[in-house]
Amino acid sequence: MTVQGTDSASAARAAFYREIDRLALTPLWEVLHALVPPQPNSPCVPALWKFADVKPHLLRAGELITADEAVRRVLILENPALRGQSCITQSLYAGLQLILPGEIAPSHRHTQSALRFIVDGRGAWTAVDGERTTMQPGDFIITPSWTWHDHGNPRAEEGGEPVIWLDGLDIPMVRFFDAGFAENLPQKTQPVARAEGTSAARYGANLLPVRYESPHGATSPIFNYPYARTREALAKLARDAPLDPWDGVKLRYVNPANGGYPMPTIATFMQLLPAGFEGKPYRSTDGTVFSVVEGRGRARIERDGTRHVFDFEPKDHFVVPSWWRVSLAAIDECVLFSFSDRPVQQALGILREERLP
């Protein structure tokens, strides 16, 4: 085709595109490669939030706005490549929440599922569907979809201290499906109907009621997984079982009623890396958020020649986006909590992972 013919064809196409645009039509062939890429190309980037940098700003927020005013006093961990979208990956939300002595974060409920991972301080409580649980560092606590929940902290004279936890929610997923609902309870706190520990006794001792019916649908009937029990299991395996060359010792939290994930949209994990451990690289399509519980170490995260090296310590947080290679190394013995959207990807049959040499 001559140059003149090429110009003529281009002009005809441009005119055609303008014509169909008026009917809200667009040509697939112009966007096909972006819609169906040869491999994942997440717009998210790896990022690290040092707790030493974040905590002063959380405490400053505590001076500027009350828990009652804010409803939830949280600083969102926004992915640097997705600013303004209130998400840490394209499917997950993460934030650090502060509750001060004597405060109550008022009761509400929403269709989004939430996890709380306790990072700093102890003794505050959260209530879910009529039962309270006391928060201790390293505890993993669930707020199932559409359950009333509120948080509180004893007054300072009663031993209360500032408590900070990681919030993880499926807000971007629910937003994608246009399925978000929320409701506020008229009173600040919900009525407490069961003694603390009732759920753990009923569902968390390798036992279930004879005529078991799930109280929270697809979500685990346990809503507090205490760190003390998790840490004991990790230590036993690190001492007596072979280490995985990629993960060290890594366990997933489970729904005791069916062995599945505790939450239908979010998977949660805890792993131990012995001192001196040098993990092999791996990658997976479920972008993952990490919270450092114990120890100092290093995360190497890379894709297509771009490399990030994060030196982490207790209470730091970092994110590994979809299909970025990551390897974890430990200076001291390290314990890491993490969460991802793995249950959804597995349900859709799209999860893929590679363990590299």
- The enclosing H or E element of 13 equals helix 3-21
Would you give the DSSP letter of residue 304? T
Class of domain 47-355: mainly beta
pLDDT of residue 116: 98
Average pLDDT of every residue of the chain = 96
Query: What is the rounded distance in angstroms from the CA atom of residue 334 to the CA atom of residue 178?
Result: 39
Band (263; pLDDT cuts 50, 70, 90):
very high
- Asked if the model's pLDDT at residue 1 lies above 80, the reply is no
- Asked if the model's pLDDT at residue 4 lies above 70, the reply is no
For the chain, percent of residues with pLDDT exceeding 70: 99
CA 256 to chain centre: 20
Helix, strand or coil, per DSSP, at residue 120: strand
- First-to-last alpha carbon distance for the chain, in angstroms, is 50
- Asked if the model's pLDDT at residue 2 lies above 90, the reply is no
Contact 337, 251 (CB under 8 A): no
- Asked if the model's pLDDT at residue 5 lies above 80, the reply is no
Contact 314, 330 (CB under 8 A): no
Would you give the DSSP letter of residue 216? T
* Global confidence as pTM: 0.96
pLDDT of residue 34: 93
Judge residue 282's burial from the number of C-beta atoms within 10 Å of its C-beta, 0-12 exposed, 13-18 middle, 19 or more buried.
middle
Residue 326 tokens read as: 């990551």
* pLDDT tens-digit map of 61-82: 999 999 999 999 999 999 999 9
Contact 160, 120 (CB under 8 A): no
In degrees, rounded to 5, the angle at the alpha carbon of residue 11 between the alpha carbons of residues 9 and 17 is 105
Task: Tell me whether strands 74-76 and 104-110 are parallel, antiparallel or unpaired.
Answer: unpaired
* pLDDT tens-digit map of 6-64: 777 899 999 999 999 999 999 999 999 999 999 999 999 999 999 999 999 999 999 99
Residue 129 tokens read as: 């569907």
Band (3; pLDDT cuts 50, 70, 90):
low
Distances (CA, A) of 37 to 34, 41, 111, 164, 324: 6, 7, 32, 40, 15
